[in-house]
Amino acid sequence: MFRPGGMSYVRIPAPDPAAAAEFYTAVFGWKVRPGSTSFEDGTGHVIGHFMPDLPVAGEAGVVPYIYVPDIDDALHKVRDGGGKVSREPYPEGEL
């Protein structure tokens, strides 16, 4: 699970951990332990917790990038899940 130089654990600010868990599960396929705030990302390489007591970062906060095989499908799931797209897709190098 742990890779040298790879992210292994993250705490995500979430005023409503259950809603955050439902969103990340539906959109990105993350696994959340039932009755818990702990999660495993879709790769199984990153674990963490949704934290209700951490302040939500503003524009100066961390911006995670999550790989998805189909951007249009992922954006559809984000919007359907109650999320908001803050920036439309754009080319990133050769991607």
- The per-residue pLDDT for range 33-71, each reduced to its tens digit, is 888 899 999 888 899 999 999 888 777 676 777 888 888
Q: 93 is written with which tokens?
A: 């190098």
Give the mean model confidence (pLDDT) for residues 19-31.
92
Count of domains in the chain?
1
The residue that leads in pLDDT, 14 or 2, is 14
Q: CB-based contacts of 27: which residues, under 8 Å, 6+ apart?
A: 74, 77, 78, 81, 83
CB neighbours of residue 17 within 10 Å: 19
- Is 85 within the bounds of a domain? no
Write out the residue range of the structural domain in which residue 34 sits. 9-54+64-80
pTM, full prediction: 0.78
In a domain, 22, yes or no: yes
- Is the pLDDT at 90 greater than 90? The verdict is no
